[in-house]
A and B are shown apart, each in its own frame.
Chain A
Amino acid sequence: MTSRRSILALTLVFVLGIVPLLAQQADRVKTVGSRFMCMCNCNQVLTQCNHVGCYMSTAMLKELGEMVGRGNSDAIITAAFVKEYGTTVFAEPPKSGFSLIAWSMPFVYFIAGATLVIFVIRKWRSRPATVLQSAPGGIAVSADALDRARAQAARDTDD
């Protein structure tokens, strides 16, 4: 009876404790693994390398799993991978040092471009409207009427 209860208790501990822990570790392997590239030159993220028996991703995932199992932090795991495989192991440039340039450039381009566009729009808006002079004997046209006519023409010929 006692042994049955012990077995039951152990089973409960396993189901309620170990299984979720394993699942959590598997999730963490996936999350951390998605930050690295497979070094077999497939140009895929480590967790997405589709080469079964790939000599690199198999070893890298095994190593990653062991480090996650030992409870190593993300920073320690990252430092270990960089030490072993070099900076090319990163799936995206780190957000520090020289690599910040890669992240900041799109924003710099957008801000510079948007500034230029706004400057151009303002410049174009500040230019005076062209005045059409009527020929002798022709009909004088007011600016309001001309604006209304332009709006109507734009609506009619809109493309």
Chain B
Amino acid sequence: MDVFGSFALLLAFVCAVYALVGGIAAILTRHPLLIKSTRQAGMATCILIFLATFSLEYLFFSDNFASAYVVSHSNRDLSTFYKVAALWSGQEGSLLFWSFLLSIYVLSVLVVYRNKNGELMPYVGVVLAGVQIFFLALNNFVASPFKMLGNVSASGAVEPFVRMDGNGLNPLLQYPEMVIHPPNLYSGYTGFTIPFAFALAALLARYPGEKWIHLTRKWTMIAWCFQSCGILLGAHWAYAVLGWGGYWGWDPVENASLLPWLTGTAFLHSVMMQEKRGMMKVWNVWLVFTTFLLCILGTFLTRSGIVSSVHAFAQSSIGSWFVGFLCLIMVVCLTAYIKNRDYLKSENRLDSVVSRESSFLFNNLLFLVACIAVLSGTLFPVFSEWFTGNRISVGPPFFNKIMIPIGLALLFLTGVGPLLAWGRTSKESMKRNFGWPLLAGIVAAVVSFAVGYRNVFSTLCLFLCGFVGWTIFLEFYRGARVIAARSGMNLLFSAQELAMRNTRRYGGYVVHFGMVLIFIGLAGAAFNIDVQKTMNFGDSMKLGPYTLILQSADTKADKNYTAQRMIVEVLKDNQQSMLLYPEKRLFQGRDQSSGTMVAIYSTLREDLYVVFAGQDQDTNLPVVHAFLNPLVKWIWFGGVWVVLGTLLALVPSRKVSLVLAHSTEPAPATVVPALNPTVTLQEGHD
């Protein structure tokens, strides 16, 4: 099966090269058979990558310990569930997994648009083939997942051998969330390739109209949704498994996932300017290019070892390939832009500073500042070493100080933007729209202050959450009230009908609501408290309203690990509340590595988070570390709403037909005198 997998990968590479070279020839000659064959070559590339991936997965499921990759990342006792995750636990397999997910997108695009957008699709196919060639080249010639174990004999011949068992999977990955976090995150990274391909193709083809933006926006939303899920799942995994009490450590690999998310979010907002007003075409094209470049940069940071990270793969020479690919993409994008920039000209006109257009401009500014701040902070240790010879760390305190004000400013714009009208917002409109939300914000701030959340940034954050939350509520309420008055439905059904008539708009509001909930969760971080104590059985520690008593310990043996479990009784206000079981797991495998399972009692108000941190070196007694983390649950809750809102925005809006009262047929169209506009009318959009 390893030979089959290797061959499938090599054949996929050949097909991708044909799709690229043949695709360029097809564009130049416009020969229909050539266009068709290169499209089919693109599809074949995807199918061959699927086969190669299934081959590697088969090696895992069949415990083939002749394979070097399987030996490094699996063992006989590893459950089937985690053998799936073992595919992407190492450099080689994760690159193949990247190609696999990219192929799902590419195949979908080639199939869905096989009879549409005939002018554009050959260019799209060429760009996608180019990206696939890069990752296939890595897997074929630099980091093959199908290497077999072998001993070099005295004669120089390589003699294959088979190990009895493997080293096992990294304990940090043996957690259900780690089976879904990487696929989501990689789906986000690879998904941004599609809008990049469409944007570059539209620029190269000088594709008329704004249709490519509609295509680009939907694929961007899908990728953005996966990226958001990946980031939140990773944060939750860090919280539940790593045991340091937090969910975001500004680790370089974490930052790498945030960068394309920031520019992707900026694009999803500024694309509305292009659709509504035909504005910011150049900006949008470069936002899409930058998002894709940041995806490649992110994976470069993870794999090259130039920045130290607990998440990174081992340092390897693969980094130079990524640098080369990044440079190539930049050259191609720059060349395409310089040659065709006149195609992106637009008649931009703004009536007023106080308008939705301005709010989008500032929104984009803040997202880009956040992106550049995170990127420069992440790379600063490298730059400082290059220029001064000293490597200076840039840790969480730096990022928190920079990003908190930016985050709050973005939250403010989240509330203000939808309240402003396109073109111009009158003073009366501002008074009408801002009054109640400001009051809601003040009430939220006062309540938070009263219950004890007394920190400047947290209070400001909760004020803004109240403000933004109320603006979103008003949007739904006002629209639903109109529908309820006309249809006789209740407000809830009217709100549902309202959302279905404009899923993109109201899906966006649901996403904003999810972000408000996430910010409420983040506001609680300033009030985290913790206690660490070496405890004997019967000892207790106090944390807020909770008293923790270490009752006993036990050992639980599983197929792949042995868990040492502490049994902690929790009293709240001196009343018995629950038992918690923080544990440490010792995994089978050559290095007997260990992992932590945190015990969390989670409510909307706070999380009681208890870690069995290890044994005291002097007394050999267990050390228990307990945290009280307010409002954390709101973050995960908000994440669910972000995903739901994105899914709603992807659903096509329900069409509404106008029927006059006492009429059995739709009213005839009214004839109006023709005007001779001297501007080009904007294309319709959904």
Contacts and interface: CB of A to CB of B under 8 A. Distances in A.
Interface of A: 34-35, 37, 41-45, 48-53, 86-94, 98-99, 101-103, 105-106, 109-110, 113-114, 117, 120-121, 123-125, 127, 129-135, 137-139, 150-151, 154-155, 158-159
B396 interface: yes
Given A52-B615, A99-B384, A133-B677, 11 more contacts: A41-B308, A50-B244, A52-B623, A87-B391, A88-B381, A98-B387, A103-B398, A120-B361, A124-B348, A135-B676, A158-B422
A87 B392 contact: yes
Contacts of B159: none
Given A105-B372, A121-B350, A52 B387 contact: no
Contacts of A50: 242-245, 611, 613, 625
Which are the 6 A-B pairs with shortest beta-carbon distances? A52-B614, A124-B350, A138-B673, A92-B398, A50-B244, A91-B395
B301 to A, nearest CB: 14
Contacts of B625: 50, 52
A106 B369 contact: yes
B349 A124 contact: yes
Given A44-B244, A127-B349, A98 B395 contact: no
Contacts of A125: 349-353
Contacts of B387: 98
Contacts of A132: 675-679
A46 to B, nearest CB: 10
Interface in B376-406: 376-377, 380-381, 384, 387-388, 390-398, 401-402, 406
Contacts of A158: 421-422
A156 B33 CA distance: 49
A104 B600 CA distance: 40
B310 interface: yes
Contacts of A51: 614
B392 A53 contact: no
Contact of A106 (B372, B390, B423): B372
Nearest to A38: B395
Nearest to B584: A52
Contact of B676 (A93, A129, A134): A134
Contacts of B613: 50, 52
A45 B376 contact: no
Given A109-B373, A154-B421, A130 B679 contact: yes
Contacts of A37: 393, 395
A138 B393 contact: no
A43 B391 contact: no
B393 A150 contact: no
Contacts of A102: 376-377, 380, 384, 392, 394, 398
B622 to A, nearest CB: 9
B675 A91 contact: no
B390 A53 contact: no
A154 B423 contact: yes
A151 B424 CA distance: 8
B365 interface: yes
Residue of A93, A103, A133, A138 contacting most chain B CB atoms (<10 Å): A93
18 contacts: A34-B397, A37-B395, A48-B244, A50-B613, A52-B614, A86-B390, A86-B391, A87-B391, A91-B393, A93-B384, A98-B387, A98-B392, A127-B348, A130-B677, A132-B677, A138-B673, A154-B423, A158-B422
